[in-house]
Structure 1
Amino acid sequence: MIVVVMVAVLLPLGLYSYWRTLKETHELLDGRLAQSARTLDVLIQRASIDALHKPEEGLLVVPILERKAEEQLMHGRTYETEVGYQVFDMHRRLRLTTANFAQLPLPAAPESGFKNYYFDGFGWRVFTLVDDAGGVLIRMGERDDSRRDITHAMWLDLGLPTLLGLPLLALLVGWAVKRGLLPLQRLTEALGSRAPGSRQPIKLERAPQELQPVVGALNAQLERLEDALERERRFSADVAHELRTPLASTMIHLDNALSTQILPDTKVALSSAQSGLARLARRIEQLLALARLEAGVAAGQRHEIDLVSVAMNVIDELAPLLGESGVEFAFIEHDESLKVLGYEAALAALLRNLIENAMHHVPSGGQVQLSMSRTVKATVIDVIDNGPGIPAERRASVFARFHREASSSGDGYGLGLSIVQRAAELHGASIELLDSPLGKGLRVRVTMPVTETTST
């Protein structure tokens, strides 16, 4: 933009300057012709050359070098052949002329002033001076190409520095702008390398004065953001503590009540209350897991994690639920160990909710499979079931919070896939809902890109 603006300003100014200079030069050269003619007139009058007024005297021709001889003598330049003059007497007879003007005829009614002629292969600018008092007529001329040489030299003097200077100026301006923006590049690198959750302020060495308020405001904003995240984390922990304790206490009291001798109707009611509290506890756990992920608890430093080990822990945790559901569960790992770079809590929540979600959509006697494998570029997690599946046109909506499919047979609250999606985002992973290879049902595929650390 800077270079374009400079071109837009300098180019018209240069053209205007060239036009003005050309105009002034032509006026100067015309003035020189007129002055030369008047000087010659004065010299003729002072010398009292009677021969100019005597008809019997012949024509006097002023010799000049031929053009080729002059070019050889002056190393390619011509001077004498580019100017010439004529002198006529009172009877309009040519009495004195330069050799190159000998063939220029006099007009029928010559008048004082400037006029353009073309003869002998060249254009000429001619000034005519009619001196009736002195009885002479003088014509003084100059070749047009001589004037063009002057204007071309002026064009080079005026235009060449601009034509050569603008590309150089563009390079220098580009270098200056790039150098001036280096602090912004350092700021970008500092933000990119900043560890999540860090409270260290960003510092730029030799930051320009214009950038210092930006860095200060950015540090203040990051500090406020970290304070807000810290409050979220504390809130999640407080809620977990405050809700889990009374729920656990109520569950214990219900177990004690069920173990005593009570009426059958009372026992049924207590069992229903126990199931309701169990569902409430599960929903609270899901809400807290989602809150922790949103608040960035898992957004700390990534670590190398054995995905197979995490999966085994999740399966052990869900073993009682798997046993009660009557679902046939299989874990297929292609490697004894799958190392990934990530957050263990988030990956555990991802696997737990994928398995639970599949179980809720599979009737008793159905199948659920967990498969893990690694390709050259990614680690792939597949959770496959043979339940009713989800039509292709409704698969995009299942990641919305509190969304439940009508085919779900469990007591979920529509948060499982939201938690899965958030955990996948933390790892830069993609989620696909595909058709199950078991004939019917759904395959949920999570693809995690392999980093240098995980690939080794």
Structure 2
Amino acid sequence: MIRSLRGRLFAGLTAIILLTGIAGGLFAHHWAFNEAIEMQDSVLIQIAGLVQTGSLTGGRELHGVDEDAEVWLIDQAATPQASGDELKLWSLEDGLALATRGGQSIRVLLRTRSDGTRFAVAQRTSVRDEIASDMAFRTVLPIAALIPCLLLVTAIVIARSLRPMVRLADDLDGRRADDMTALPAAQMPSELHPFIASINGLLQRVCLLMDQQRRFVADAAHELRTPITALSLQAENLDPIDLPADARDRLAALRQGIRRTRHLVEQLLALARQDAGPSDGATMPIVALDGVAKEVVADVLPEAASRGVDLGFARVEPASICGEAVMLVAVVRKLLDNALRFTQHGGRIDACVYRDGDSAILQIEDTGPGVSPDEIDRIFEPFFRGQRPEGDGVGLGLSIVKRIVDRLGGSIEAVNIVASGRAGFRVLVKLPLATDRA
């Protein structure tokens, strides 16, 4: 069964065109064949009229009447000793009839002159059928040539008719995941209006659910900040108290859990801010990406030195983009934090900022263990930490980075570095360069 709507339409219309063409061709062939036979009978009648007026004499083959007609004029007076076929021929009544002469079937027209003598105008039926078949074939030939043209026109019409659906699909495929703008119904065929209205209704419901989810996450994170801060203070107040070793271990575990919870709340708040913020990059200020990267690297440098990690720039070029400075700081900081978390003592982290055509490139490369090939496509999902979680992370850092990059109209890619004598992990962020504003 054909699942494609275009295929169904083309197959159905092709079947209709072929059946109609075959039926029309058979009818046209039959009609043209009979017309050709009648026309040849008319030629015989015209020749007989000329003979009766004395313009032609019988007993010979007539040339010049029709090059391929092979018409004979037979005079009874010229054949006094008639054979069996001749006797049967002259025994027929005046008019058109079928007879046999010399072992061949003929179409014959017999007439009687005023003096009582008879003559016949004859033509072989095989010649008549050949001429009629040739004329009928020439009549059907244009119909046969028209069918492929109709099929081509049908394919073009179907493709142009379904083009609005293709444009609609391309519009949906090219949207960001958070773009819930209603689909335009203008300039669309009326048959698509119910479908577009249903899709727009679905988009509105999804947008409402997403807004509710964002508000819930933001409200929950705000509500959790106060009790978490109170717990943190209470835990710190226990430091001066002389506690048994077992209690000290439990207190350390409690403080670590509080730190992780506070970090989770901060990440959730950051995620909520990115989801709630405007996504129109044209209205954002122009920010120097290289300057932001230098400031963040300078802030992270002491922590990298304490971990024994060599952090620095491998390449820095001026590059400006449209965006908020806090957004770019969050991107660079979270990428560096992620690299520091997985880079071992004595490792290296290289940052790069440069221009590539119409894009600004931010690249963070480390000498860590990398990510499993089975997990590398999921590292930008919220709360995904993989098989080798490190530190107090909750799996939201790279997800927040991707949200920010998407809002800025860019793209992000993560790959494992596999080279001779070298291994690591590379994250490459591509953002559109800022254009001069009038």
Give the structure-1-normalised TM-score: 0.65
Alpha-carbon distance in 1 for matches of 2:105, 2:196? 71
- Which residue does 1:442 correspond to in 2? 424
- Which residue does 2:98 correspond to in 1? 114
Larger Rg: 1
Query: What amino acid does structure 1 have at the position aligned with 2:258?
Result: L
- Which residue does 2:7 correspond to in 1? none
- Which residue does 2:4 correspond to in 1? none
- Residue among 427, 430, 438 paired with 2:413: 430
Alpha-carbon distance in 2 for matches of 1:305, 1:344? 6
Q: CA deviation at 1:21?
A: 1.6
Helix, strand or coil at the partner of 1:210? helix
Query: What amino acid does structure 1 have at the position aligned with 2:428?
Result: V
Alpha-carbon distance in 1 for matches of 2:38, 2:255? 112
Q: CA deviation at 1:219?
A: 2.0
For residues 324 and 451 of structure 1, do their structure 2 counterparts lie closer, same or farther at Cα, with a shift above 3 Å needed? closer
Give unmatched runs, 5+ long, in structure 1: 45-59, 71-77, 95-104
- Which residue does 2:293 correspond to in 1? 311
For residues 325 and 446 of structure 1, do their structure 2 counterparts lie closer, same or farther at Cα, with a shift above 3 Å needed? same
- Say whether 1:88 aligns with 2:98: no
Q: How does 1:221-240 map to 2 (within 5 A)?
A: 221-240=202-221
Helix, strand or coil at the partner of 1:300? coil
Q: CA deviation at 1:355?
A: 1.9
Alpha-carbon distance in 2 for matches of 1:92, 1:297? 117
Helix, strand or coil at the partner of 1:211? helix
Query: What amino acid does structure 2 have at the position aligned with 1:431?
Result: A
For residues 90 and 366 of structure 1, do their structure 2 counterparts lie closer, same or farther at Cα, with a shift above 3 Å needed? closer
Alpha-carbon distance in 2 for matches of 1:373, 1:424? 17
CA RMSD of aligned residues (A): 5.3
Alpha-carbon distance in 2 for matches of 1:204, 1:108? 85
Alpha-carbon distance in 2 for matches of 1:352, 1:419? 11
Query: What amino acid does structure 2 have at the position aligned with 1:232?
Result: Q
Alpha-carbon distance in 2 for matches of 1:414, 1:192? 27
Helix, strand or coil at the partner of 1:443? strand
Give unmatched runs, 5+ long, in structure 2: 1-9
Q: CA deviation at 1:334?
A: 1.3
Alpha-carbon distance in 2 for matches of 1:65, 1:135? 23
Helix, strand or coil at the partner of 2:218? helix
Q: 2:71, 2:123 within 8 Å by CA — same for their partners in 1?
A: yes
TM-superposition CA deviations, 1:161-195 (whole Å, max 9, x none): 67458637854x56755665575577568768989
Q: 1:65, 1:80 within 8 Å by CA — same for their partners in 2?
A: no
Query: What amino acid does structure 1 have at the position aligned with 2:214?
Result: R
Q: 1:183, 1:204 within 8 Å by CA — same for their partners in 2?
A: no
Q: 1:33, 1:127 within 8 Å by CA — same for their partners in 2?
A: no
Q: 1:305, 1:341 within 8 Å by CA — same for their partners in 2?
A: yes
- Say whether 1:212 aligns with 2:193: yes
Alpha-carbon distance in 1 for matches of 2:302, 2:225? 20
- Which residue does 2:263 correspond to in 1? 282
For residues 178 and 452 of structure 1, do their structure 2 counterparts lie closer, same or farther at Cα, with a shift above 3 Å needed? farther
- Which residue does 2:232 correspond to in 1? 251
Q: 1:128, 1:137 within 8 Å by CA — same for their partners in 2?
A: no
- Say whether 1:301 aligns with 2:280: yes
- Which residue does 2:108 correspond to in 1? 127
Instruction: State the number of aligned residues.
Output: 406
For residues 283 and 127 of structure 1, do their structure 2 counterparts lie closer, same or farther at Cα, with a shift above 3 Å needed? same
Query: What amino acid does structure 2 have at the position aligned with 1:311?
Result: A
Q: CA deviation at 1:81?
A: 7.6
Share of identical aligned residues, percent?
A: 21
Alpha-carbon distance in 1 for matches of 2:372, 2:194? 51
Q: How does 1:387-402 map to 2 (within 5 A)?
A: 387=368, 389-390=369-370, 396=376, 399=379, 402=384
TM-superposition CA deviations, 1:75-111 (whole Å, max 9, x none): xxx49986432132697547xxxxxxxxxx9858756
For residues 275 and 176 of structure 1, do their structure 2 counterparts lie closer, same or farther at Cα, with a shift above 3 Å needed? closer
Q: CA deviation at 1:234?
A: 0.8
Q: 1:18, 1:155 within 8 Å by CA — same for their partners in 2?
A: no
Give the structure-2-normalised TM-score: 0.67
Q: CA deviation at 1:222?
A: 1.7
Q: How does 1:190-205 map to 2 (within 5 A)?
A: 201-205=182-186
Alpha-carbon distance in 2 for matches of 1:80, 1:24? 18
Farther off after superposition, 7-16 or 233-242: 7-16
Alpha-carbon distance in 2 for matches of 1:403, 1:423? 19
For residues 404 and 10 of structure 1, do their structure 2 counterparts lie closer, same or farther at Cα, with a shift above 3 Å needed? closer
Alpha-carbon distance in 2 for matches of 1:373, 1:412? 29
Alpha-carbon distance in 1 for matches of 2:134, 2:162? 42
For residues 317 and 124 of structure 1, do their structure 2 counterparts lie closer, same or farther at Cα, with a shift above 3 Å needed? farther
Q: 1:37, 1:139 within 8 Å by CA — same for their partners in 2?
A: no
